[in-house]
Amino acid sequence: MTTELMAKERLSPNIPLFALEGMGGSGKSHVIRLLASQLNESGLNVLGCKISGMGSGDRIDRLRCINAARKDLLENGLASEKIKEDKRKDRIFRLAMHHQVKSLIKQTTGTNSGFDIAILDRTPMMPWVYSASNDPDNPYLEEILNDGLRTTAQMGISSVYVLDVSPETAFARMIGRMCVGKEDFEKMVADLCKIIKAPDQASHEIATRSINFITNNHGLMPKTYEKYALIPYDVMVNERSKFVEAAMLLNSKLGIGYKVVDAEKPIDQVVTIIIEDMRVSLARASA
């Protein structure tokens, strides 16, 4: 698929779109809230949207239930060949992604949308990142990649910011959020660490840092545990590099700018790096 053909599919939202990418636990949702707050203070009305992954809403909730049921069937060796094929195609998450993109475009293409800028939590490249990280020999990778590129081309994203953290940081943040506020959080941390199948040293570091996040008031926002969120450690390691590769593909295929941001830094520094780059992009677009 050529860039020219994909460009013809663009549905031209009326406002600038910026996207944050990165592993679960990289801090996307927290950074987006702070970015929106600062931009609101500057007089801009910000739309925040979930793209890829599981968001909320009746249709997404149904897909979440279907995904959970299918995951149980797969884990217990009871899945049909169709379910196995859908899993390799990442079909449930791609359906959710397309629904979210349609909702975004609907909100941003009207003449009076009421928003000045949109900040997206992920891009349509997430299904490819996960699938390629989980199984490099997946026969549907090209299909998933082309779907991600085609859908991204429709959106007209200005820039992608990849929040980069170590797998240990990512897991510690996620597990901390899943266990914060629970009386038996230390046992929960230990149980969740077993799920990710990390090497002993990494598992110990993740558990220690998770407990530190919980006990030292790091402002963790509670997050409901969902099976799909805690992927195996080795898949997370692969995802770290695949997110950067995906951003580079969007740049080379669609001309979308990208910046890899060290999200191990204090969050105020991460926000400053991104918002300064956003403002340069906005100024360039309005010149």
C-alpha angle 89-162-245 in degrees, rounded to nearest 5: 55
* Residues 11-25 as b or e (16 or more Cβ within 10 Å = b): eebebbbbbbbbbbb
Instruction: Give percent helix, percent strand, percent coil of the chain, each to the nearest 5.
Output: 60, 10, 30
| pLDDT tens-digit readout, 175-234 | 999 999 898 999 999 999 999 999 999 999 999 999 999 998 667 888 887 777 899 999
CATH fold of 3-280, please?
A: Rossmann fold (3.40.50)
pTM over 0.85: yes
Report the distance separating Cα 162 and Cα 286, nearest Å.
24
pLDDT at 254: 93
Domains of the chain, residue spans: 3-280
To the nearest 10 degrees (0 to 180), the angle between helices 167-179 and 200-215 is 50
pLDDT at 5: 45
CA-CA-CA-CA torsion sign (133, 235, 239, 102): positive
Residue among 60, 51, 56, 24 nearest 121 (CA):
51
Torsion angles phi and psi, residue 13, rounded to 5: -55, 150
Partners of residue 19 on adjacent β-strands: 120, 160
- The stretches in the chain having pLDDT less than 70 are 1-13, 53-56, 110-113, 217-218, 287
